[in-house]
Chain A
């Protein structure tokens, strides 16, 4: 669910004119291909998850979800998301503000750096943090001396997730704020408003839907992130397992029904996210 990476907000599709419409047969084939693909690779697996989850009956399903390790994993996942999303929103707004309202050298380099987590494999991202904060890492001895645990602990998971989700909000807001320009902000200043009030009353209302969209995607990714978190987590049950890690462990232990029960929970989260996302897209379109 979280592998979806929007580089830019999609524009409403242009209405196709008659001259550009494909012949019927071609259109039919294209539709058929898309439907086959979607059912084979999206709908079917989704159904399979739920079928498998309820394989051993509803009691096993709820027991797997209510298992202390599962509950701990759910709690940790939500805590991480709760920390990540506000941090990302703040960073995203700050970065978009910087890029869209100021001119400075190295602006393009900054934008590229913001995109870096999209280009780097999450596993490598995780390894970077191990290299930095692990026992044999760069800052390891110092952290050990001061009794601070980052790797194989919650801070490591938060850091790794933060790295992976960094571009979401910023990437959403930069094109939006660049397109909007700063004329309204300037008008606000001439009317005697200070920077904070200008942000609150002028900028924020203009970007709120874009911001929410970025937040939703960031949230989805932070809940679903596996690779980076897997490297830094240490897989300590009840302590450093997030939902995806917990599912993997259950699966490796052949507890398929339990694994799919938790997976179904994540799928529901994903579907809710999609619905909210579509609502926001619809809302931004009608707002224009």
Chain B
């Protein structure tokens, strides 16, 4: 089922938690809501589920306007940020709950319920835990019970609020792969909230980046990572080097750098900032081109196949971060304290008047 979120706004008192949100989500899509803490992700999810009322705007499931329909009729699966398992019920009863509370007419028989619950517990690999209580489970297990409980009612829309928030990195990674497969098998439209950018880029079909109640950018993981449309998104998705300089007739002047910025060919003497990702900085031992700038390697640390360099520029005394592959690093035979020449391979210029971070 497709979801249309149309100019949704929500205030708590005088505080604007959501400001004119538009998102269209296609059937079967897995969308990540990404943003810093307090950016309104949970609030948006709660509005979609009907747990919170929007001040204005409307929500459509398919072609049906469900803005004023109560939560219980919306048929969404909701996995809460803090699980919200029924603590006085066993795992089995938690998962069975949604089926047991159905009105008599549509309620499956006891046997059918049992089959369905065990099927789901198998799916989340918790069959052996059916009789345990939530307090007797680990965080990851609780999370999976919450997921099984939400899936039991066969929702058309699945909303997950930081489903892997409290878990360690390894389990997180396993579970999000598993969620991706699950999503593909069940043909559900899913929205999941996270403030982990890697997680969002890893599993989502599309990423919605939120900041202070507004949407900054929507796009595929590749789009938002490679072509951020604002300094905020640049900053939020991964590390970035800032080149604060002067923009004049399509060139950014900064220290000894003169970098082409053709999209600003009519700019006249404006302050501007260039954004460069660490892996878009090229390192050379000899001065091959005249737009390279000399720098000294201050630190080298190797994490798996990636080598992180911390450099200090000789012209402006500013620090830079660069990343290169281990192969390249070995070829160059770099050492701490060595003088090299750096050059941005790709850079994006923003004029600060338009944006503030």
Contact = CB atoms under 8 A, between A and B. Distances in A.
> Do chains A and B stick together as partners?
yes
Interface of A: 183-184, 186-194, 197, 201-202, 205-206
B100 to A, nearest CB: 8
Nearest to A201: B101
B76 A187 contact: no
B150 interface: yes
B260 to A, nearest CB: 53
Contacts of A190: 49, 51, 71-72, 74, 76-78, 150
Interface stretch (B83-91, B248-256, B322-330): B83-91
B28 to A, nearest CB: 21
Nearest to B135: A288
Interface string B65-101: 0000011111111101010111110000000011001
B149 interface: yes
B86 A184 contact: yes
B299 interface: no
Nearest to A208: B88
B335 interface: no
Given A192-B75, A192-B153, A202-B86, A186 B101 contact: no
A184 B85 CA distance: 6
A187 B98 CA distance: 10
B345 interface: no
B102 interface: yes
Contacts of A187: 78, 80, 84-86, 149
Interface in B184-213: none
B72 A193 contact: yes
Nearest to B71: A189
Contact of A186 (B70, B73, B80, B102): B80
5 contacts: A186-B51, A192-B73, A193-B101, A201-B101, A205-B88
Contacts of A189: 50-51, 70-72
Contacts of B97: 188, 191, 193, 201
Contacts of A194: 72, 101
Contacts of A184: 84-87
Q: Which of B82, B98, B149 counts the most A-chain CB atoms under 10 A from its CB? A: B98
A206 B88 contact: yes
Q: Which of B49, B70, B73, B101 counts the most A-chain CB atoms under 10 A from its CB?
A: B101
Interface string B134-178: 000000000000000110110000000000000000000000000
B133 to A, nearest CB: 11
B136 to A, nearest CB: 13
Contacts of B75: 192
List the 5 shortest-distance A-B pairs measured between CB atoms, nearest first.
Answer: A191-B98, A183-B84, A193-B101, A190-B78, A189-B71
B102 A192 contact: yes
Contacts of B88: 205-206
A10 B302 CA distance: 56
Nearest to B152: A191
Given A186-B51, A197-B101, A201-B97, A191 B84 contact: no
B79 to A, nearest CB: 9
A207 to B, nearest CB: 10
A190 B152 CA distance: 12
A205 B71 CA distance: 22
A246 B85 CA distance: 52
A133 to B, nearest CB: 43
B284 to A, nearest CB: 56
A144 B318 CA distance: 94
Contacts of A201: 86, 97, 101
Contacts of B78: 186-187, 190
A192 B51 contact: no
Contacts of B76: 190
Given A190-B77, A201-B86, 7 more contacts: A183-B82, A187-B78, A189-B51, A190-B71, A191-B101, A194-B101, A206-B87
Most buried by A among B49, B72, B82: B72
Contacts of B98: 191-193
Nearest to B74: A190
Interface string B13-55: 0000000000000000000000000000000000001110000
A196 to B, nearest CB: 10
Given A186-B51, A197-B101, A206-B88, A192 B72 contact: yes
A208 B87 CA distance: 14
A187 B94 CA distance: 10
Contacts of B73: 192
B248 to A, nearest CB: 55
Contacts of B85: 184, 187
Nearest to B94: A187
Contacts of B153: 191-192
Given A184-B87, A187-B86, A202-B86, A192 B101 contact: yes
A30 B217 CA distance: 68
A273 B152 CA distance: 44
B80 A183 contact: yes
Nearest to B75: A192
B34 to A, nearest CB: 23
A171 to B, nearest CB: 23
A288 to B, nearest CB: 9
